[in-house]
Every structure is written in C-alpha cells, then in structure tokens.
Amino acid sequence: MKIGVIGTGLTKFGEIWDKSLRDLLAEAQLKSLEEAGISPKDIEMIFTGNMCAGALSGQLHIGAMAAENLRLNVPSTRVEGACASGALAIRAGIAAIESGAAKIVQVNGVEKMTDVSTEQVTTALMGAGDEEVEGFQGATFPALYALMARAYMQEFGLTREELAAVPVKSHKHGSMNPIAQYQKELSIDDVINASMVSDPLTLMDCSPITDGASSIILATESIAKKLNNDAVWVVGSGQASDTLALSNRDSLSEIKATRFAAEHAFKQAGITARDVHLAEVHDCFSIAELLAIEGLGLAKKGEAGKHAAAGHHYFDSKMPINTCGGLKSCGHPIGATGVKQAVEIVHQLQNRAGKRQVKKAEVGVAQNVGGTGATVVVNVFKR
C-alpha cells in the first residue's frame, strides 16, 4: 500500500465563537484543496469524521454538508467511531482508493463543542463508553482513565511527577504551535497542584473541550507523484477493538487494541517500532499517552513514565511524542483529532513544523483512540 497525502488543511483549535460547525469544516476543506493545487471537481469521494454534532449542534448528515460546501454531488459519508472518528475516516479514504472506487479522496474531521454546557458535552462524550455499565452508574471518562492511572501506578510504580511530565512536555510543544488551543508552558507543580478532577488526574492532566476542523487529500501513487513532489505516503493502517466497558478488560494498565492495531499497521508498512522517528498519540488524559507509547512498542511496559520524566519525548529528543501539543495543549475537537494527527505527521515529514521540527524525520505514526480503548486506529506515514 502506498497512498499519497497531497494536501492538508487546519483551522485554529479552541473556543471559536464566530464560526459555526459548517464554517469550520469548509475552512479546513478549502485549505487542503488549495495546498493540493486541485479543484473541488477533482475530488471523487469525501469522508468526514464526527462524533457529537447531533448531540451538541443538532446537526447530523455531516457527509452531505461536506459535499455541499464544495458544491459537489460525489459520495460523501460521515464516519463515527467516538474519539477515533478522524482516523477511521482516513481508513475509509484509504479503502476507497485501494478498492479502485476513487483516485482522489478528501478526508475531514470536525467538531463544534464549546457552544453548550460542560454537562451536555460530558453526557455526549460518555456515548463513547458503555452506557449501561458505566454512564448510567455515573462514571465519566476522567474517572475511567483515573482508574487506569491508579492501576498502572500500583503495577509499575509510576510516580505523580512522572505522570505530570506528560502535559508539561505537551504544553512546551503547544507553545510553539500557532493553531494550538493553549500556547502556554506548564511546570510539574502547575500540573500536580491544579484542581482535582478524578484522583490522581487534575485539570492539567485532561484534554479540553475544543472547536476545530482538519482535512487531508489522499491520492493514488501515480497522481500523487504527478501533483506533489513532496508527497508523504500512507504505508500502513491498522484497526483493532476491545470491550466497550473498562470493567470487562483483561488489564487496566494497557490499551490492548493499540498493540493489535500497531502490529497490523507496522507489518503492512514493513517497519518495526525501531524505525519510528516520531508519533502522534491519543493523550486525552496523561496516562493515555504512556499507555499508547507502550502499546506501539516505543517503550517497554512500565517504562514510558520514566522516559517522559527524563525528557525523552520532546521534539528534539530520543522519541518525539505529540509535537503539535497533543490533545492536551493543541485541543481535542473529537472528530478532527485523528485527521489533525495525520496533518502534524505530514508537516513534520515535509520539514514544515517550524520551531518544533524533528530533525531527519522519515517515518511517523499516529494512534487515535475511541473511548477507553474500545476502538484504536494506527496509521503509518513515510517520506
């Protein structure tokens, strides 16, 4: 498999009061088309990741909206897989090209979340968990990931300071990213002393509520080579599942589906974890980043926290993680996140990441998670 990324588009991430769901989606779509140097008429299919528009904006049928924005009548589909919706949309685009159904595909992600109350957002997001076993009992995602953090701490001796090193690094990267929701650095004390959300997770361990959109253009190898001399290639893609409810898992100290998805994606790409130069992972909560790193094979089980505390995950260190600022600092507009991760990897591999540029990056991996790991997608990109 070798599919080219020939264009990317991002909006600002944050509390964007003056733009609607449609505005955000259209902005990202037009930017990716402009970068690709193609006309809307060249797009043969569209896939758009979105989770919460029905609950938070009263707007379903996002596929039709994406096509209308470009004045097209091509097949256009909304893709939903909780917080993994964006990466699932990428997989849908890959499948469309591999099947021969299309030669050029636009993949988008969008979410508008800040126009309603926190309670409404929390209720909508719990749709990514098990309503009967978790949501109905009063569990929220901070609580579920806090359980995972406590289990990991008990099993591997992770300290609070090691856990806090994750958002400190993310905010350092976000401070250098012009689209990030939060462009302010943090200290370990800032994280530990922030308001408690669900012990041991404080507010600074949790990704924010965010508006934003992202877009990429995928094309066949022949078209990509013709249109873009600097194309980045999607060379592997894997998806795996686990139980919806956290209580039904074999272990609370890993996200098993990451390992399965990564094994498939890496085999398809012809690489091992040793070949990876940087990764964008789903750090909805600080513990999730550590679990992702280990699930991808970028650290042995129980060691990711020590690596984080030692500074190994900064853009200029041994294994750069979340150079855009991650979900924590860049923001987490649910449906847009998986596509934004791909955009960041593409920009890094094209040497376009500015102050946070990773040197000599040739292979990047993106890991996007739905719920507490019930759905995981891993995509591999290469120069």
Q: pLDDT for 198-232, tens place per residue?
A: 999 999 999 999 999 999 999 999 999 999 788 89
Angstrom distances, CA of residue 309 to CA of 163, 213, 264: 8, 32, 30
Residues 162 and 250 both lie in one domain: yes
Residue 128 lies in a domain: no
Residues 54 and 101 both lie in one domain: yes
Residues 263 and 197 both lie in one domain: yes
Residues 40-78: pLDDT tens digits? 999 999 999 999 999 999 999 999 999 999 999 999 999
Selecting among 52, 83, 284, 324, the annotated active-site residue is 83
Residues 225 and 240 both lie in one domain: no
Q: What pLDDT does 326 receive? A: 98
- The yes-or-no answer on residue 206 being catalytic is no
Residues 200 and 218 both lie in one domain: no
Residues 275 and 228 both lie in one domain: no
Low-confidence ranges of the chain (pLDDT < 70): none
Residue 124 lies in a domain: no
Spell out the alpha helix ranges (H) of 214-350: 221-227, 256-269, 286-295, 304-309, 326-330, 334-349
Q: What pLDDT does 230 receive? A: 86
State the Cα–Cα distance between residues 26 and 40, nearest whole angstrom. 12
Residues 217 and 317 both lie in one domain: no
Residues 223 and 174 both lie in one domain: no
Q: What pLDDT does 343 receive? A: 98
Global pTM reads: 0.98
Residue span of the structural domain in which 264 resides: 137-207+236-382
Residues 56 and 159 both lie in one domain: no
What CATH number has the domain bearing residue 251? 3.40.47.10
Selecting among 277, 282, 332, 347, the annotated active-site residue is 332
> Pairing relation of β-strands 201-202 and 196-198?
antiparallel
Residues 91 and 178 both lie in one domain: no
- How many domains does the chain divide into? 2
Residues 92 and 157 both lie in one domain: no
Identify the domain boundary among 232, 266, 300. 232
- The yes-or-no answer on residue 332 being catalytic is yes
Residues 189 and 329 both lie in one domain: yes
Nearest to 358 by CA among 344, 343, 377: 344
Residue 127 lies in a domain: no
Q: What pLDDT does 231 receive? A: 87
